[in-house]
Amino acid sequence: MKNIYLIGVGLIGGSFAIDIKKNNPETVIYGIDANEDHLDKAIALGVIQEKAVLDDIEKADLVIVSIPVDATVKLLPTILDKISDNGLVVDAGSTKEAICKVVEHHKNRRNFLACHPIAGTENSGPTAAISALYKGKTNIICEVEKTTFKLQEKALDLFRAIGMRIRYMDPVSHDKHIAYVSHLSHISAFMLGKTVIDKERNERDIFDMAGSGFRSTVRLAKSSPAMWTPIFEQNKENVIETLEEYINNLQHFKELMQQDNFSEIFNEMENTNYIKQILNGIK
């Protein structure tokens, strides 16, 4: 793949670009972004080599769409209108059902591969792009059977070359499961941060007393609201379901506290320690 176009030159797209270029020095990576400053920074940092516009993607071997999911739903049909017969479009959206739905009857559906790389940080923009972000991480592929075989194989080879594991899932199941393991954790971080800010009006107290536990738990609250609000909107039903279960567990914990039932609190925490074995098993 000689000509690769990034639509969105931030953390996700930029990190792809860095490792793809490292493995394929002859590849030219073009950037398309609504923020001109982002494009200038991406060029200065070597994340991309050239600026481009949407009409240029007719020359693309590969287009990586890494913009907020609401923007992807709006723009993806236009991108597929412009892609050549031999070009492939992949996205990196954290929701998949709405994205797959909007192009299910597009004449160039076979030129699209729906992806969700399970990787990232709380930072955003081209300065956040880093090498090896995807090493050892999972890339969820949805509806792979709807993508032309020779194009999907090129993409999968590229993903594997930068160290990604591949897993296949249907869009509905993806959105349900990701609400638990990703979307809920971000909501928890945002609401923990809000609770502390609302309660502790003196910011010095927060910073002086914040230990590593608080910092690691609230880290995701630094994530971009512009990216996460559309994710919550597109996955609303699943997110509400996970929140109901989470709130029930919090309420139960509160009731145990009120009852001075600390032996049961101990048991619940000890049982939850099993998560260590699960997480160790998927490293």
pLDDT band at 121 (very low <50, low <70, confident <90, very high): confident
Is the pLDDT at 12 greater than 60? The verdict is yes
Which run of H or E residues covers position 198? helix 184-199
User: Given 3-state DSSP classes, what are the helix, strand and coil percentages for the chain, each rounded to the nearest 5?
Assistant: 60, 10, 30
- Both tokens of 171, joined, read 């869009």
Weakest-pLDDT range from 122-126, 137-141, 235-239, 243-247: 122-126
Same fold, 3-169 and 173-281: no
Q: CA 60 → CA 2, 27, 73, 127, 178, distances in Å?
A: 8, 11, 20, 25, 31
The more confident residue out of 143 and 213 is 143
199: CB partners within 8 A, 6+ apart: none
Which run of H or E residues covers position 64? strand 62-65
**């909501």: which residue's tokens?**
187
Q: What is the dihedral of CA 51, 56, 61, 66, to 10 degrees?
A: 60
pLDDT band at 282 (very low <50, low <70, confident <90, very high): low
Q: Compute the distance between CA of residue 59 and CA of residue 42 in angstroms, rounded to an integer.
A: 21
Mean pLDDT of the chain: 94
What is the pLDDT, as a whole number, of residue 200? Answer: 72
- pLDDT digits over 189-218, tens only? 999 989 888 877 767 677 677 777 888 888
The more confident residue out of 149 and 120 is 149
Q: For 188, how many CA atoms within 13 A lie in the half-sphere containing its CB?
A: 18
What is the pLDDT, as a whole number, of residue 277? Answer: 79
Angle between helices 184-199 and 236-258 (to 10 degrees): 50
Overall CATH class of domain 173-281:
mainly alpha
Sheet-wide strand order for 62-65: 50-51, 28-32, 3-7, 62-65, 88-91, 112-117, 138-142, 165-168
Average pLDDT, integer, range 80-100: 97
What is the pLDDT, as a whole number, of residue 246? Answer: 96
Rg (CA), the chain: 21
Residue 142 is classified by DSSP as E
Cβ atoms of 4 and 20 closer than 8 Å: yes
Average pLDDT, integer, range 227-246: 97
Q: CA 136 → CA 12, 66, 118, 149, distances in Å?
A: 15, 20, 10, 24
Domain extent listing, the chain? 3-169, 173-281
Q: Compute the distance between CA of residue 92 and CA of residue 69 in angstroms, rounded to an integer.
A: 9
Is the pLDDT at 283 greater than 60? The verdict is no
What CATH architecture is 3-169?
A: 3-Layer(aba) Sandwich (3.40)
Please indicate, yes or no, whether the overall pTM of this predicted structure exceeds 0.85: yes
Q: Compute the distance between CA of residue 191 and CA of residue 87 in angstroms, rounded to an integer.
A: 42
Weakest-pLDDT range from 53-62, 106-115, 154-163, 202-211: 202-211
pLDDT cut 70: percent of the chain above it = 98
Kindly give the pairing relationship between strand 112-117 and strand 138-142. Answer: antiparallel
